Structure 1
Amino acid sequence: MSSAAAAAWWARSRIRILLPVIFLAPALFFLLSPPSSPPFFFTLPTSREESPSASGSRVIWAQRRVVEWRPCGWWRAAMPAPARRNGYIRIDCYGGLNQLRRDLCDGIAVARLLNATMVLPKFEVAAYWNESRGYVEVVKDMPEEIASKEPYRVDCSKRKGHFDYVETVLPALLEHQYISLTPAMSQRRDRNPSYAKASYCQSCYNALRLNKNVETKAIELLQAIPKPFLSLHLRFEPDMVAYSRCIYTGLSSKSLSAIEAARGEDRKALTGEAARLWRNRGKCPLTPSETAFILKALGIPTDTNIYLAAGDGLMELEGFTSIYKNIYTKSSLLTHEDFEKMHGNTKAALDYYVSVNSDAYVATFFGNMDKMVTAMRTMQGHQKTLVLSRRAYANYTAVGLSGEHLAMAMWDAHREEYIMGRGSALPEQCFCEFKL
């Protein structure tokens, strides 16, 4: 074949030849990479230029942020509810403090969606009070002819969007005038019209408050903590570890027994390859000693005042307190009598209030409590907020990093998270990204 003919053939055929190569290249790279290499989404540190020294002289909060989540402006404008009401809705709330708050906020959005008056629920322990009347009418008492009968129960377990509520729940409200419901956990709030979304945001972040008695006790607790301080939501309780289905080595026999007692038949620990993949996905709770290691890697001084926002039954705590010694808890700051008679939801409310108002907040798990706290801190402009990456820690230790090399890797992972403003708010609908 002449050179001219070859050139013409190449011009006609190059797209057909190159396209498969372009699309297969990532797959070939992944398949041919040695198994000991870290996952492609993690980069091993190559320089100490941005990393703190082993003594922790540079703290993560000193990094200049380039992005922040802030409350969006659209929902803060007045959107008063129509004068005419379609009936009364009682929101039935169950579970812990975080579940109560979620159901209340969702319930207010549903009440606005259906143009109903919301009847304040009766809690086992009065955890919240509400001032959202500008968006949804809220009452404690109803007309006698309504209050004298039990509300008609509506099953909302499968409701996802506003059409579900309008088409299925509204007819029941119009017929019975008084209904009760628990908002579906699987709600698609993004499908709601703007006025219902605004009511949700307003109720969660402007109107909903802890009740007066709980808030008074929370303020007392906050004032007793030496300032400045970091609030740490540390999660390493037997039931949580059992639920995670993770296996840990080096734990005390007491901790192992507690985990096994909480595990039960339906929470068998994963083993082999399944356990490795599960851990590398970041599904295993950080131990207190792992948490202390990461905090040191982030430059948090070991003499920092730390408030432990945690439930009862924390295990292996000496792995943390052997490094960070200025530790404060509810039980150490409140009188014994005060603490012992408190309901679990009240204890959680105190942790919530202190964490929202702390100088810095670090979470080891992004659960409901952490979502509440980080969102409220964002509302108030408190940007020293970080969720530790269990996934990064698992993947870096899986490829053999330890000591100073592991500390450098954790610094890089969390620095990126912090300067980009991720993990510090709920961008779901009430918060927007602002470049700095």
Structure 2
Amino acid sequence: MATLCDDLVTSIQISTIWKIPYKGGEWKPCVNRSSQVTGLPESNGFIYVEANGGLNQQRTSVCNAVAVAGYLNATLVIPNFHYHSIWKDPSKFKDIYDEEYFISTLKNDVRIVDRIPEYLMERFGSNMSNVHNFRIKAWSSIQYYKDVVLPKLLEEKVIRISPFANRLSFDAPPAVQRLRCLANYEALRFSNPLLTIGESLVERMRKRSAINGGKYVSVHLRFEEDMVAFSCCVFDGGEQEREDMIAARERGWKGKFTKPGRVIRPGAIRINGKCPLTPLEVGLMLRGMGFTKNTSIFLASGKIYNAEKTMAPLLEMFPNLHTKETLATEEELAPFKNYSSRMAAIDYTVCLHSEAFVTTQGGNFPHFLLGHRRYLYGGHAKTIKPDKRKLALLFDNPNIGWKSFKRQLLNMRANSDSKGVEIKRPNDSIYSFPCPDCMCHANKTDNSRSSSAA
């Protein structure tokens, strides 16, 4: 590829990237909190769920659990966060979210308690493992819960669902969707310690972005050792990288990648756009899209693999690049440092308030940010989601010139802009596509809302 030169890069103002192309106009949050004063009907029993995965997979569990409990007129026990061997984070719900605010926000819609009454648990020897556990298929309909789960709930008065990540279909009636919206966008607020440091880092990023009017770009970089290992892609680390990846796969997924007959084809994985972008590739992509070396970047990431070597070109292209570790002192980060979910929550907050968010690999983190940013920014995502198959072809083409590369990347950025506002289709995630279930047109009165949000 041609040498990267500042005078070849189309300079852009961060504040003018997005044009809101959707003809229907802007959207606004449109989630009604219940105003009923008569109180909820008598509960049908208690539902206990175990939320598995990392920060945002657990968030899916919590929102879905709220929707199921509300629909079945059940009492939801604050979800238990299942300890995972990969994330190694023992955080409880109250460590991540403001439990009191969560319960208060939902009090007119769903009963929520922090424990099951002892008089009920005595029937099960005060041992949750003795409670009937539903092994529910992924993406089950809400009708399944009504037909199969509710009778058992009425009979036992206490049921358990474990695991409970993606156990509810995205295609659901308005009453269910409203509860999901209310839980995700209104009730789930990070705990005060996380909120405080997150907001502090947002303010520090804005101060460091004075040259851009206080606006900055956030990038979610997935180039940690476990991600590189799991992808089975090959980069330019030679024999040392190969040994590192073999060891990492065995630590995290014993035997998964060495089963007899399993063939790994790194080249095919890359062509299919499944390889995580390297820091160098992220830098080239952003410069091709018109971001100059003066652009302020916040990098959301775990510990980058071989960071001293791999991060050097990105830092050269964007010297105004910051992370939570460079924005905060060691003392400020100390309470969160050994907890992956809490560190991810800090990244989430700073990314949420950036002018533009760049996702490089997919997963639950950008999945939720995509929708949350739509919810905050008039229905528009302000998110760059590159075509990684096309990127692989561009990066691997030895004959492409910088002008041609830049033209392709500018088109890719424009495509992200045109897809900034998208309406949820039946099987889309409400957490990525809040319109129209959680939002309504800003130019309409409150009485003419989408029926899905009513």
| Structure 1 and Structure 2 fold alike (TM over 0.5) | yes
Question: Which residue matches 1:35?
Answer: none
Match of 1:332 among 310, 318, 326: 326
Q: State whether residues 214 and 350 of structure 1, in contact with CA within 8 Å, keep that contact through their aligned partners in structure 2.
A: yes
Q: Residue 117 of structure 1 is aligned with which of 64, 70, 75? A: 75
Greater shift in the superposed pair: 357-366 or 57-66: 57-66
Matches within 5 A, 1:27-426: 54-58=8-12, 61-62=16-17, 64-67=19-22, 76=32, 78=34, 82-123=40-81, 124-125=90-91, 126-128=95-97, 129=99, 130=102, 131-146=105-120, 148=122, 149-151=126-128, 152-158=131-137, 160-182=140-162, 184-225=164-205, 226-227=208-209, 228=214, 229-248=216-235, 250-251=236-237, 255-264=241-250, 265-267=255-257, 274-315=265-306, 316-342=310-336, 343-381=339-377, 383-397=381-395, 401-421=400-420
What SS is found at the alignment partner of 1:278?
Answer: helix
CA contact (8 A) 2:229 2:246 kept: yes
- Distance of 1:88 and 1:188 partners within structure 2: 18
The alignment's TM-score, normalised by the length of structure 2, stands at 0.74
Task: Give yes or no for contact 2:60–2:166 (8 Å, CA) kept in 1.
Answer: no
TM-score between both structures, scaled by the size of structure 1: 0.77
Q: C-alpha separation between the residues in 2 aligned to 1:338 and 1:74?
A: 36
Distance 1:74 1:55 in 2: 41
Report the Cα distance in structure 2 between the residues aligned to 1:101 and 1:339, rounded to whole angstroms. 23
**Percent identity at matched positions?**
26
The structure that has the greater radius of gyration is 1
2: CA distance between counterparts of 1:140 and 1:231? 36
The equivalent residue for 1:32 is: none
Q: How far has the Cα of 1:373 moved from its partner?
A: 1.4
Match of 2:435 in 1: 432
- Distance of 1:276 and 1:370 partners within structure 2: 25
8 Å Cα contact 1:309-1:355 kept in structure 2: yes
Distance 2:183 2:141 in 1: 19
Which piece of structure 1 moves more, 204-213 or 418-427?
418-427
- Work out the CA distance in 1 between the residues paired with 2:270 and 2:415: 22
Q: Residue 292 of structure 1 contacts residue 324 of structure 1 at CA under 8 Å; is this kept in 2?
A: yes
Give distance in 2, aligned partners of 1:70 and 1:95: 34
d(CA) in 2 for partners of 1:374 and 1:425? 13
Query: Which amino acid is 1:353 matched to?
Result: T
1:161 CA displacement: 1.1
Q: 1:233, 1:362 within 8 Å by CA — same for their partners in 2? A: yes
Q: Distance in 2 between matches of 1:306 and 1:369?
A: 18
**Cα deviation, residue 141, structure 1:** 4.7
1:356: Cα distance to partner? 0.8
Structure 1 range deviating more: 418-427 or 99-108: 418-427
| CA apart distance, 1:372 | 1.4
Determine the C-alpha separation between the residues in 1 that align with 2:240 and 2:25: 42
CA distance in 1 between counterparts of 2:314 and 2:263 reads 26
Amino acid at match of 1:133: K
1:369 CA displacement:
0.5
Stretches of structure 2 that go unaligned for 5 or more consecutive residues are 1-5, 82-89, 444-454
Shift of 1:337: 3.6
Q: 1: distance between equivalents of 2:405 and 2:49?
A: 48
Specify the code of the residue in structure 2 equivalent to 1:299. G
Residue 289 and residue 402 in structure 1: after superposition, are their counterparts in 2 closer, same or farther (change >3 A)?
A: farther
Aligned length: 382
**Aligned-partner SS, 2:429:** coil
Q: How far, CA to CA, are the matches of 1:198 and 1:154 in structure 2? A: 27
Shift of 1:289: 0.6
Counterpart contact for 1:378–1:424, Cα < 8 Å = no
Partners of 2:46 and 2:26 lie apart in 1 by 34
Residues 295 and 213 (structure 1), Cα distance of their counterparts in 2 relative to 1, 3 Å cut: same
Structure 2 distance, partners of 1:117, 1:374, is 30
CA distance in 1: counterparts of 2:145 and 2:32, whole angstroms? 24
Cα RMSD, aligned residues only: 3.3
Paired with 1:394 and 1:423, the residues of 2 have a C-alpha distance of 26
Please state how far the C-alpha of 1:201 moved relative to its aligned partner. 1.5
1:212-263, Cα deviation, whole Å (9 max, x unpaired) = 2221222222223223322211111221122112222x33665454333223
Q: Give the whole-Å Cα distance in 2 for the aligned partners of 1:71 and 1:115.
A: 31
- Return 284-293 or 77-86, whichever deviates more: 77-86
After TM superposition, the structure 1 stretch with the greater mean CA deviation from structure 2, 317-326 or 118-127, is 118-127
